[in-house]
Amino acid sequence: MKKEKIRIGCGAGFSGDRIEPALVLAEKGELDYLVLECLAERTIALAQKRKLQDASKGYDPLLEKRIKSLLPLLVKNQIKLITNMGAANPLAAAQKVIEIAKELNLPLKVAAVTGDDATQWVKNSSTHFTILENGQALNDYEVISINAYMGIDGILEALEADAQIIITGRVSDPSLFLAPMIHEFDWQIEDFDLLGKGTVIGHLLECAGHITGGYFAEPIMKPIEGLENLGHPFADIYADGSAIISKVKGTGGKITLQTAKEQLLYEVINPHEYYTPDVIADFTTVKLEEIGKNQIWVTGGTGKAKPETYKASVGYKAFYLGEGEISYAGFNAVGRAKLAGEILSQRLKPNFETFRIDYIGLNSIFREEFSAKMKVEESYLPEVRLRVSGKASTADEASLVGEEVEALYTNGPAAGGGVRKNINEVIGIVSILIDRNLLKANVDILSA
């Protein structure tokens, strides 16, 4: 039966997000749907690596923790969960959820949405793929994973099968929100204006604490109360594609025109054409209005026909990162740190094609030229931390960076302290386009 209004909450905006805002939403939010968006570009490549090591893994490492605490509330309040915590292995994630449901003695229907993993398909294909960012050939890369940003199709199929928990792999973030709107309001998937509106609403919600004032806060110009207890948002969405965005009473944070505007423009490359697999949305027709405390009314937003291709993220073996850090304080701290930087530059130069020296507290963030414009008196800095980072082709080579920093303990300059060293295998991400007719969403339904 067609509904007039649904309420969707967003309880997580990235894989490392807090657990309890979703619990508050599930307990007190009177939700129809809860979305947990937990999958960044690189997260899925790391998950693919875990899956290669253990075929029963490769889903979000926090899945168990999140689901165990949420499931009783979801079942009690009849809330459907849509999440991309399946990462590289939605099926194993769904099996894990079933296992948890059985332990808790809760009846449950779980859907695993797959079809995004194009790694084998591309490797076996004779098509020549070009990297979008630099025009190079895909064959030049040591590929770990290829995952396409899928749209609403698989989630819609899972909703039609009445699954209560829907676990996807790589799906475009707004699609997680758009699919239940289409399902409940009976929107036509070719009605691109409505899909554009729904995509705007999804985009406003998808970063969770962004729109409730968390990442917005600044104590002087943009003070926000209760950040330690930040509420995550929900939206009352109407069949005409308008919505009111709000949060649970008593939670921290604030939803205002300003927080909504910051989120609307977040990571937008072209506001006239915001590409998703479902629609190309236009954000320049969106209207936002503050209609009450913590209540933003969203109207407008339009769209045009969806792209013919899926964008896919390619995870590849990039390099080994070697890092080392050491601190200096007191008289001429910057001078000693810079001397240490020079020493390290000379010693690392023969072994590293690319390395970088940062002075944390002075110019590690805004980079040297811009930081210099900010006119800080270097001699007044009470302390500065030298950071050296370099790219290497093996972990062994990378370890040299940290070792050289550590060796400053006896070789000087004076009074360097607090050395930390680190080696990390870096996975790079680039993109390719895949004809959308060549990838098909797949849905498996499991029951407890």
Partner 1 sequence: MKLYEIAHSRAGDKGNTLTLSLIPFKESDYELLCTQITAQKVQEHLQGIVEGEIIRYELPNISSLLFVCQQALLGGVTTSLAIDTHGKTLSYALLEMEIAYTNF
CB of 354 to partner 1, least distance (A): 7
300 is an interface residue for partner 1 by CB under 8 A:
yes
- Does residue number 321 form part of the binding site for partner 1 (CB under 8 A)? yes
Q: Determine, following the binding rule CB under 8 A, whether residue 391 of this chain makes contact with partner 1.
A: yes
**Helices 192-205 & 257-264, crossing angle to 10 degrees?**
110
- Half-sphere exposure (Cβ direction) of 381: Cα atoms closer than 13 Å: 21
CB of 256 to partner 1, least distance (A): 11
Minimal distance, residue 78 CB to partner 1, in Å: 36
Assess 140 for contact with partner 1 (CB under 8 A).
no
Question: From the CB of 268, what's the least distance to partner 1, in Å?
Answer: 6
How many residues make contact with partner 1 (CB under 8 A)? 56
16 binds partner 1 (CB under 8 A): no
Cβ proximity to partner 1, 68 vs 347, nearer residue? 347
Indicate whether 217 belongs to the interface with partner 1 (CB under 8 A): no
Q: What's the min distance (Å) between Cβ of 252 and partner 1?
A: 19
Q: Which two tokens mark 425?
A: 């295998």
Least separation in angstroms between residue 40's CB and partner 1 is 9
426 lines the binding site for partner 1 (CB under 8 A): yes
Closest approach of partner 1 to the CB of residue 361, in Å: 11
Tell me: does residue 265 bind partner 1 (CB under 8 A). Answer: yes
Task: Return the sign of the alpha-carbon dihedral for residues 38, 43, 44, 46.
Answer: negative
How many Cα atoms sit within 13 Å of 326 on the Cβ side?
29
* Shorter beta-carbon distance to partner 1: residue 62 or 321: 321
Distance CA 112, CA 118 (A): 16
289: enclosing H helix or E strand: strand 280-292
Q: Is 89 helix (H, G, I), strand (E, B) or coil?
A: coil
DSSP bridge partners of 254: none
Binding-site member from 4, 142, 218, 228 for partner 1 (CB under 8 A): 218
255 touches partner 1 (CB under 8 A)? no
Dihedral sign for Cα 208, 214, 217, 222, please.
positive
Structure tokens of 401? 């960076």
According to the binding rule CB under 8 A, does residue 137 interact with partner 1?
A: no
268 binds partner 1 (CB under 8 A): yes
**Which residues are paired to 167 by β-bridges?**
83, 112
Question: Within positions 30 to 49, which residues make up the interface with partner 1, using CB under 8 A?
Answer: 41-42
User: Binding of partner 1 at residue 286 (CB under 8 A)?
Assistant: yes
Stretch that binds partner 1, among 68-76, 110-118, 338-346, 429-437 (CB under 8 A): 429-437
Task: At 415, give phi and psi (nearest 5°).
Answer: 60, 40
CA proximity to 402, closest of 387, 415, 416, 412? 387
Per DSSP bridges, beta strands 109-114 and 442-447 are antiparallel
Binding mask 345-384 for partner 1 (x = CB under 8 A): ---------xxx-x-x---xxxxxxx--xx----------
261 binds partner 1 (CB under 8 A): yes
Nearer to partner 1, 34 or 430 (CB): 430
| Alpha-carbon distances, residue 240 vs 5, 35, 202, 299, 301 (angstroms) | 9, 21, 15, 9, 11
Q: What distance in Å separates the CA atoms of residue 97 and residue 441, rounded to the nearest whole number?
A: 21
How far apart are CB 284 and partner 1 at their closest, in Å?
6
User: In the stretch 117-136, what mask flags binding to partner 1 with x, by CB under 8 A?
Assistant: ----------------x---
Pairing of strands 309-329, 383-392: antiparallel
Spatial separation of the C-alpha atoms in residues 24 and 70, rounded to whole Å: 10
What proportions of the chain, in percent to the nearest 5, are helix, strand and coil? 35, 30, 35
Residues lying near partner 1 in the complex (CB under 8 A):
41-42, 133, 210, 215-216, 218, 221-222, 258, 261-272, 283-288, 300, 318-319, 321, 354-356, 358, 360, 364-370, 373-374, 387, 389-391, 426-431
